[in-house]
Each structure stands twice: as structure tokens, then as C-alpha cells.
Amino acid sequence: MGYKHLNLPKDNDEFPEGLILVSGKNSYGKSTILEGVLFAFFGPRIFRGRNAESFITYGVQEKAEIYVYFIFDKKKYYIYRKWGRTGSIITKLFEWVKNRKVYQEVKRFNTEKFFEISSEQAMNTVFVRQGEVEELANKRGAELREMIIDLFRLNIIDDALSFLDNESKGKKYEKENLEKLRVPIERINNDINRIEKENSQLRKLITEQEKKKVNYEQKINDLPSNELISQLENLYNQLKSTNDKFLSYKNDFKVKIKKTDLSIGDFESQDTIINRIKTYTENKIKLKKEKNELDKKREATIKGLGKTNGRIEDIKKSINKMEKSLKFTIKKEGKKIALCPTCQNELTKEHYDEMIQKFTNDIKLNQNKVKSISQILTSFNNNIKNSQDKLDAIKENITIHQGLKLDFENYKKYESELRKIEKELKSFLSAYGTQFKNLSIEGIKELSSEKEKVSVELKALTNSLDEKKAKLQAEQERIGQLRNEILKMKDLEKKIGDYEVDIDHINKAKEFVRRFVTEYMVVKRLVKNIALTTDKYIKDFTSGQYSDLLLDLSGTRKTGLSLRIKDNYNGEYESTEVLSGGDRTALGIALRLAISELMSSIRPTKDSPKRNPKIDFLLLDEPLAALDETRRERILKHLIKSKSFSQIFLITHTTIPPDIHAHKIIVDKDISTGISKARFEKPTVII
Ligand SMILES: Nc1ncnc2c1ncn2[C@@H]1O[C@H](COP(=O)(O)OP(=O)(O)OP(=O)(O)O)[C@@H](O)[C@H]1O
Ligand SMILES: [Mg+2]
């Protein structure tokens, strides 16, 4: 800015404690010094958007740099900040390491965290810039309250509140979850009553059905057992079927026997029939033998007949051949002669005729032979037929006898079986007959179906009873579950109640914390302190005209004036709005000093000492301009005496009253070059 290079105080010197005035004429470069220090600590944000280039005055320079050496929390540091023409920034903090006697960089440092003060707070308390001194006096109650809460880090209370809020939300969530599970106990009781009613109805039904069941069982007991019934039924069935078979075989036998010369009596002894069959068989064998012989003879006769017929045919052929082939052409001694086709001998006609005659006789002879053989054959055929008929008759007789024998055996077999069953039935009846009311087959069938019917009914009844009992059991268990449910619900309701109490307590706690902050902490305690401390300064600064600052900070943003001050001329409390400019400046400085002073001494909460700013110096830019000489002098004197801050830098262009002796930074400007200069000057009088 206006400075090309500045080193204050000289070399490695340190500024003394107490009041240090920064004095010089308008525009000489006083505020620039304060801004430089502010820039070192808080960076370009203090210039509110001005770009780097406009601060880097001299064209050859690429950067603006500042080093501020300070003591903070009893430790020595220096902060270094560089701002490049392009806007790049380097900030570094170095801490003095006593034993090594060097400065060592504090890595990853952050100004606000390091000083435990925000730039906003710093502007309100430590660095008071030009024209801002009256600001506090003009603030409204609610704004001041918020500023104080912020300054004194009372937002720890916000943390407490948000913690309580979370707690209460958590409890509400738990409570709502439980409420979702909740079933009104009355409803469960209604369910139990309904089920109990149903159960008593069910029990009644069960008793009735059990009585019925006993009846049915008695009825079944009174009837003969199923085994006996089926035994008797079986016997009757066997008797009937055996009897039927017996009768049908007997009938068949009778019909068949009628066709023979036999009587039933012949069958009483089997031997008769067996013997008969034996005789028949023997006859049959004999007859077969005879017939076989006849058959053989007949075969031989048929062969003879064939031979005889063959010979006749041969002769006829020879005659035929001769007639056709012999040619009587050769004449010898007047006789016709031919050549024998077989032997090539000469054959005469006579001889030939003689031969033909002989052949013809032979045919006749053989034809007669055929006749007689044919007669023999006919007689053979008759005999054979006769024999065959006899054989067939015997065969049939054998078959009939054998069939009859089998039929008789069967008929006898079924008869004996029938007797056996009749005997069994008799013994069964003598043993169990009394148990049956009606012994007829129909009676038994009826009994069987009646018993079946009763059994089916009994079974149905038993099933229905079992079902009902199972249902009763299940319902009984359900009642047990419902009773458990009631216990659970009671427990649940208790828990919900507990949560409600908790939530109520938390809400009360929140309310209390809130009231504690606004009423007790700020309004009563802090404000009272601020008012008291301000009071100390105000009377002095206003030459006794004003005193008794009343701060009422409990109102809202909209409520009217809350800073009042007592006018000692008329004894009235007046609103700060009616104060003169100078009064307001005086009140502003008084409030600044009071708040800054309290910042380092008061403990708003137990945690506060650690967290409050540890900065115990003040930088005030031109707070005295609006004040007359008397007030200026009073304030300066007060500041010189003040033990609340270790150092106070006060910028002013006004003339310093001659009896004020303080350390000074004299700011000057070379009119020809426009470059500001400054030097540190000790007072001529020892303070
Ligand atoms: N970027 C800059 N380059 C050069 N000079 C600058 C720059 N910014 C400000 N100045 C100079 O610094 C002067 C302002 O200095 P400063 O505000 O410190 O004065 P002051 O002593 O506080 O005056 P006043 O008593 O009026 O408050 C201006 O007159 C201007 O010439
Ligand atoms: Mg200035």
C-alpha cells in the first residue's frame, strides 16, 4: 500500500506494554498499519473482495509480505503472510523453541482455531477499525445478545440443546416403535372372553357327544362280534355253494346214468366199475388186433388186385403194339411173314393170331381173377367195418364209464363236504347260536349291515369328538398366549410411560437450558457484568453526565430500545438514540473496552477459560475523532492507567494533549514520492 518497506520498532526490538499511540496526519498511512496486522492474521478477507493487484503498489514488486511477531498464551510466535500479484497466498506460523533458540514452523495451522476467535469476533473486540467505534452503542438488544452469545462462545449451549434434541428424538422414536407394537389390553381381554365362551359351548357339546358315544359302544357290544357274524355268514355261504354244487353234480350223474344199463348201486363199490372198464379195455385190445390183421390182409389183396389189373394192361399194350407195328409184306411159300419188333425173328400170320388168342385168354383169366379178388375185398371191408363199429362202441362205453366214475366221485366229494359244513354249522350254532336273534341268512345280513351302520356312526362321532377336543386344547393354549400378551402389553405400557417421563424431562431440561442462556447467563450475569464494567468508563468518559447503563437484552429483534443510560442532569434514563454523536462514541468505546476486558476475565461456563480468546491487546483506529479535548484526555488517561490489556494501540490524527505521555508511532509521508514512513518514539517523560 503506501509503504514500500516498514520495520517497527527497529531491528529486533519489542514494543513496550501499555498505550502506544499511532499518530500522523490524515492519509499518512496510520490505518494501513492496522490493516497490515489484520491482514497478517486474517488474510485478504479483511479487504472484502479487493484484489491483490490493487494493494501491490510498486510495479516491480511481485508480492506484498508481512511478518508480525507476538506473544500469545505466554509463547512467542511470528506469523508470515505473502500475497502474490496473482492472488496466491502463503501463510505460515512459527513458534519460538526456547531450548533450541529457533523459530519452528507450526504445521497445518488455522488462524481462527489457533486464536480461538473468529475474524468477526476479532473485529468486534480486538481490532476496532476506523468508524466502527460507535457501532456497539447503536446495536439493538437482541443483536447485542446474539453478539454476546457468539463472543463468549455460548453456543456450547446450542450443542447441549442439540444433544438434548437428539436424545428426545431417540426416545420419541423408541416410544413410537413401542406404540406400533401396542395392542389395547381391553381388546385382548375381549378376545379371551369370547374364546372362553366358545370353549364352554364346546365343552357342552363334547359331554353330549361322549354320552352318545357310550350308547353306540354299548349297542355294538350287545351285538355278536364281527368275527362271529362273518364266520356264520361264511358258513351259510359255504353251505349254499357246496349244496348247489352237490345237487348239480348229482343231477348230472342221474341224467347220464339213465342212458346206460347201470344203476346208482353199481357205483357204490368202485371195483365193479373199474372191472368193467378193465374188461372193456381188454376187449378193445383184442378187437384192435383182429382188425389190424384184417387190415393187413386187405392191403395184400389190394396189392394182388393191382398186379392182376397191371398184367391185363400189359397184355393189352402188347397186343396194341403188335397190331400197329407188324407189317405182313414178305411172302414165303405163299404165307405172309412179318418181323418181330422185339426179337427180329420172322413171324407168321398164324403164329401171330395164335399169340393174340393166347393174350386174349390171359386177359380173360386175369379179369376173372380180379372179380374174385374184388369179392374177397368187399367181404374184408365188411368185416373191418364191423370190427370198427364194435371198437367204437367199446370206446364209447369206456368213455361213459370213466365220465360217470368221475361224476360219481365229485358228487360224493361234494356230499361229504356238505356234511362236514353242516356239522361245522351245527357246532357253531350250538356254541354261539344264542347270541343271534335271527339266525336266518337275511337276519344275519341285516345284523351285519346294522352293525356296520352303527360302527360308521360311532367312527364319525369319535372323529368329531377328537376334532372338538383338539380345538378346545388349541383355544386353551391361545388363551394362555393372550394372557402372556397382556403381561407383555403391561410391560410395554410401562416402558412407553417411562419414555414419556424421559421425554418430558428432556423437554424441561431444554426449556431450562434455553432460559438459563437467555435469562440467567446473558441477561443476568454477562449483561450485568458488561453494564457494570461499561459504567465504570462511561461516567469518566462523559465527564459525569451519564452513568448507570441499563442493558435489557431479553427482548426480541423487534422490541424497541434496550440500551438506556442515566442522564445525571435530570436523573432520567434515556435511550441511546437521543445521545449526541460524541456521547455515543464515548458509550461505544466504553462498551468496547468493557466487552474486551470481560472477554479475558469472565467465565460464562465451566468450559470457558480454555475456549475464550487469549488475546489481551487492543487496536483502536481513530476512536477519538468525534470527542472534544476533555473527553479525549479522559479516555487517553484512562487507557494509560488501564491494567486490563497488556498493550493498546490507538490510532489518532488529533493533537495529543500535552500532559499525555505515551509511546508513539509517528507516521509520516514523503509528499514528493507519496511513500509512507513510520518510526517508533519513546515518551520524553518517563512514565
Ligand atoms: N495500494 C496503494 N498504493 C499506494 N498508496 C496507497 C494504496 N492504498 C492506500 N494508499 C495510500 O495510503 C493512504 C491512506 O492511508 P491510511 O488510510 O493509512 O491513512 P490514515 O493515516 O489512516 O489517514 P486518516 O487519518 O485520514 O484516516 C492514501 O492516501 C493512499 O495514498
Ligand atoms: Mg485512517
Answer whether residue 333 is part of any domain: yes
- Residue located nearest, by CA, to atom 20 of ligand 1: 27
Asked if residue 47 has its Cβ within 6 Å of ligand 1, the reply is no
Contact at 8 Å (CB) between 656 and 636?
yes
Report the mean per-residue pLDDT for the chain.
86
pLDDT at 600: 62
- Residue located nearest, by CA, to atom 2 of ligand 1: 1
User: Cis omega before residue 623 (within 30°)?
Assistant: no
Asked if residue 32 has its Cβ within 6 Å of ligand 1, the reply is yes
Answer whether residue 503 is part of any domain: no
Answer whether residue 311 is part of any domain: yes
Answer whether residue 122 is part of any domain: no
Nearest atom (ligand 1) to Cα of 56: 1
82 CA to centre of ligand 1 in angstroms: 20
Query: In angstroms, rounded to a whole number, what is the distance separating the alpha carbons of residues 89 and 37?
Result: 16
Name the closest ligand to CA 677. Answer: 1
pLDDT in tens, 448-499: 888 889 999 999 999 999 999 999 999 999 999 999 999 999 999 999 999 9
Instruction: Report the candidate in 568, 586, 685, 681 with the shortest Cα–Cα distance to residue 626.
Output: 586
Mutate to test the pocket of ligand 1, among 619, 671, 676, 677 (most ligand atoms within 8 A of CB): 676
Asked if residue 1 has its Cβ within 6 Å of ligand 1, the reply is yes
pLDDT at 162: 85
pLDDT in tens, 291-340: 899 899 989 988 988 998 998 899 898 888 877 877 777 676 777 777 77
Asked if residue 30 has its Cβ within 6 Å of ligand 1, the reply is yes
Answer whether residue 296 is part of any domain: yes
pLDDT at 64 over 80: yes
70 CA to centre of ligand 2 in angstroms: 23
Look up residue 607 and give its DSSP letter.
Answer: T
Answer whether residue 272 is part of any domain: yes
CA–centroid distance for 117 within its chain? 53
Say which CATH number the domain at 366 has. Answer: 1.10.287.510
Answer whether residue 248 is part of any domain: yes
pTM of the model: 0.53
Answer whether residue 42 is part of any domain: no
Give the range of the structural domain holding residue 296, as residue numbers without chain letter.
229-435
Instruction: Report the candidate in 29, 16, 85, 99 with the shortest Cα–Cα distance to residue 664.
Output: 16
164 CA to centre of ligand 1 in angstroms: 52
pLDDT at 79 over 90: yes
- According to DSSP, the residues that pair with 65 across neighbouring strands are 82
- Residue located nearest, by CA, to atom 7 of ligand 1: 1
653 CA to centre of ligand 1 in angstroms: 13
**For the chain, how many structural domains are there in total?**
1
Query: In angstroms, rounded to a whole number, what is the distance separating the alpha carbons of residues 108 and 119?
Result: 18
Higher pLDDT, 687 or 405: 405
pLDDT band at residue 610 using 50, 70 and 90 as cut-offs: very low
489 CA to centre of ligand 2 in angstroms: 76
Asked if residue 55 has its Cβ within 6 Å of ligand 1, the reply is yes
Query: In angstroms, rounded to a whole number, what is the distance separating the alpha carbons of residues 679 and 9?
Result: 7
pLDDT band at residue 553 using 50, 70 and 90 as cut-offs: low
